Amino acid sequence: MERKYIIGIIILLVIIVGAYMVFAGGNKQERITIAGSTSVQPVAEKLAQAYMQKHPNVKITVQGGGSAVGLKSVQDGTADIGTYSSKLKDNESAGITSYEIAKDGIVVVVNNANSVSDLTTNQTMGIFGGNITDWSAVGGSSGTINVITREEGSGTRDAFISLVMGGKNGTAILKTAVVQSSTEAVKQSVKGDPNAIGYISLADLNGDVKAVKINGVTPSEQTISDGTYKIQRPFLFLTKGQAKGATLDFINWVLSPEGQAIVKEAGAVPEK
C-alpha cells in the first residue's frame, strides 16, 4: 500500500512538472529592441503598441538616440532593429539589411508669429548657410534670423544637407546655428523664438510651429506621395543581416496593409 502511495505521488509530480514545462514554454515572451532616429521613434512606438496588443507574447521596447545610434546599435548587436531617417551611405551598408517602412517630408518650420510662409530652395539654403541673416530679406518683418539645426549624426540633418544644402560638398550649415539633439527640441526652440527657423519631420508637425512652403509646395502626405514636395527621405528599419524570428514577423506586419495604416495614423507617408 505504501509503495502504491509513493508511486502515485511520483506520477502526480511528473504530471505537475510536465504541465508547468508546457505552460512556461508556451508563454515564453519574445523581446524586440528598437533604437535610433528620433524622427522615426514616434512612428515606431505606435507600431510597437499596436503589435503588442495583438501579440501579447511579444515585448517591444523603443528608444531614440539618433540615426547614428540606430546604425551602431544593430552593428554591435545591442538592438534588434535600428531606426534610420535618411538613405544609407555605401560605407554604412555592409552587413546591414534595410527595410523602408515609410516616407517622410523634412519640413522647414518657423514660429507661428512669423509672417513668412513660403521660401524657395535657394532662400532656405541661404538662411541655413548664413548668407541671409534678416527676415526682411525674404519678405518678413525686420529681425535677425536665428537658425536651429540638428546634431552631427542625425539622419534628419544628413538628409537636409543632401536635399537642401547641396550635399557634403555644398553649402555648410551656419557654424553659429543652435544645435539640438532631437526633433522635439528643435520644435520647442522654434516655438519659443519668434525669429527662429528649423527643420523637423512631417510626422512630428503640429500646431506648435508653422510649416513653410518650399517653392510654393506645402509639405503633406499627398505632395510627398506624388513627388511634388522634394525635401523628403525614407524611414528605415535596419537589421544586422536578414531579419529573423520575431523581428522578421514584426517587420512583415509593419509592411502589411494593417501596419501601414498605423504608419499613416502616426503622421508618416505609408509605402503602400
Q: Tell me: the pLDDT tens digits for 34-62?
A: 999 988 999 999 999 999 999 999 999 99
pLDDT for 28: 73
Range scoring the smallest mean pLDDT among 15-24, 85-94, 147-156, 164-173: 15-24
pLDDT for 21: 47
C-alpha cell at 34: 528598437
Q: With pLDDT > 70 as the criterion, what percentage of the chain qualifies?
A: 90
pLDDT for 248: 98
pLDDT for 116: 98
Domains of the chain listed by start with CATH number: 30-104+234-270 (3.40.190.10), 105-232 (3.40.190.10)
Q: Does the predicted model carry a pTM greater than 0.95?
A: no
